[in-house]
Structure 1
């Protein structure tokens, strides 16, 4: 009879992705990877900004602008509260439960479905206030479900590969700030060839860097992967 392998359970905070080991690369590298993915929209932002992207970013980090943001409840909700609470619930709390049952790869695609459904409350708000037709609201809801599910799978992948919560939170906040890429305006932009090249280059670099920049070896022991007896693709 084969003996069962018994492993000590990681600390709760470590399972939630709250730990010091590897925290610096966990904060920087996933955010850089996400910015690479948004190379096209960032290029478009730089082209459309009168002062350019760098001065725009510098002004955004000025003390006055930071103070204004911290007093803005909508800004705090979209860029601080929502990323932190949603990643804590749908990634840090849910994935450690799913991974031992389904394995890491399946969990990456299952957890985001709950995340996508959680955004359907916007449908009730839009219908209640009569902002759009029922058909338009439903189409937007389906699109948002698909977009949030894909994004949720991405941050779930980051959480499992790095074992840290900070990376998904920062990526979530950055994506909320950027919004969905304005592909329509990019296709009609005067500098369309350059923009399309930046969009394609961003996707190519993202695909090439996805696994190297999330290599678990750079982040120390990944606690969530210790919940399964045999390491599988997302954890190795």
Structure 2
């Protein structure tokens, strides 16, 4: 029987801590690259100006292209070898694609925030034609969901999973996502629309809900092994925004609306695990990185 000495055990623990710090720093690097890329352009145009949106989209798409290389480098430095490609680890694969696209999106739709006129709009082809010509819509509904999920879920979760395990990774990765949104403070200060207290309060609320949402999409990613579900959920939730409870309370039919909110919340909780059951999605490549037992992923 092989017995490990205290010194060897201590060295092993130190090596594991070093690897974990390397994972955290790699995630921090990606977050800084993503946010920093938005500020390489020196302009004073408003945030929603088409020219500024185009430049920002180019920046984050380039960072997204670098993300797989960061994951690959991290794997090389940590001597991690798996039987799947880095793309599959990041959730870009065909197996189980259809349920991975439909079920998480359905789960998002039962959450209590569906706008009443949303279904009517998406049913009109002319609405889609107008949308694809709108730079703000393309940023909010296409580029931001795709690049943010690729970087903050697809790239970060595989690097965090070996150290933290799945549960901790679900709640750790969104912190990078939440902090990455604090850069909006700079924009608000530049525009000087509100005083600093209001700006900080708004930033705090945004940090809270982006972190919670990040945990939700991280959960979907680890349960399905696909990036498409988080991307579609992100796009859908961007179109809906936060539940407008204040308006619902003032609505003449507030009892019915609040009942819908409650039913939606209950359905979300009831369907959360069944609709993300790994059974529907074949093998989960990213789970090959999880510490034993692998079933915990």
On whether the aligned pair clears a TM of 0.5, the verdict is yes
User: What residue is the counterpart of 2:167 in the other structure?
Assistant: 105
Query: 2:180 is matched with which residue: 107, 114, 118?
Result: 118
Matches within 5 A, 1:41-56: 41-42=113-114, 45-46=115-116, 49=117, 54-56=119-121
Change (3 A) 1:230 1:7: farther
Structure index of larger Rg: 2
Could you report, residue by residue, the CA deviation over 1:16-63 in whole angstroms, capped at 9, with x for unpaired residues? 10111000000000000010113xx32xx33xx5xxx6433312xx1x
User: What residue is the counterpart of 1:198 in the other structure?
Assistant: 260
Structure-2 separation of matches of 1:224 and 1:12: 9
Structure-1 separation of matches of 2:129 and 2:122: 15
Three-state SS of the structure 1 residue aligned to 2:294 is coil
CA contact 2:89–2:158 (8 Å) conserved in 1: yes
CA contact 1:103–1:232 (8 Å) conserved in 2: no
With 224-233 and 203-212 compared, the bigger mean Cα shift is at 224-233
Structure-1 separation of matches of 2:119 and 2:109: 14
CA contact 1:30–1:168 (8 Å) conserved in 2: yes
Shift of residue 137, structure 1, vs aligned partner? 0.4
Three-state SS of the structure 2 residue aligned to 1:18 is coil
Shift of residue 231, structure 1, vs aligned partner? 2.1
The answer on 1:14 being equivalent to 2:91 is: no
Change (3 A) 1:120 1:7: closer
User: What residue is the counterpart of 2:108 in the other structure?
Assistant: 34
Could you report, residue by residue, the CA deviation over 1:217-236 in whole angstroms, capped at 9, with x for unpaired residues? 11010011111231254x2x
CA contact 1:30–1:158 (8 Å) conserved in 2: yes
TM-score normalized by structure 1? 0.88
Change (3 A) 1:55 1:115: closer
Shift of residue 68, structure 1, vs aligned partner? 1.8
Shift of residue 80, structure 1, vs aligned partner? 0.3
User: What residue is the counterpart of 1:207 in the other structure?
Assistant: 269
Give the count of matched residue pairs: 219
CA contact 2:122–2:128 (8 Å) conserved in 1: no
Query: 1:57 is matched with which residue: 100, 118, 122?
Result: 122
TM-score normalized by structure 2? 0.71
Shift of residue 134, structure 1, vs aligned partner? 0.6
RMSD (Å) for aligned C-alpha atoms:
1.6
- For structure 2, the residue ranges without an aligned partner over 5 or more in a row are 4-79
Structure-1 separation of matches of 2:256 and 2:104: 26
- For structure 1, the residue ranges without an aligned partner over 5 or more in a row are none
Three-state SS of the structure 1 residue aligned to 2:265 is helix
Instruction: For CA contacts below 8 A with separation 6 or more, give which structure has more relative contact order.
Output: 1
Could you report, residue by residue, the CA deviation over 1:180-225 in whole angstroms, capped at 9, with x for unpaired residues? 1111001111101111111111111111110000001110100111
Structure-2 separation of matches of 1:189 and 1:30: 30
The answer on 1:75 being equivalent to 2:137 is: yes
The answer on 1:180 being equivalent to 2:242 is: yes
The answer on 1:170 being equivalent to 2:170 is: no
Structure-2 separation of matches of 1:76 and 1:8: 35
Shift of residue 65, structure 1, vs aligned partner? 2.4
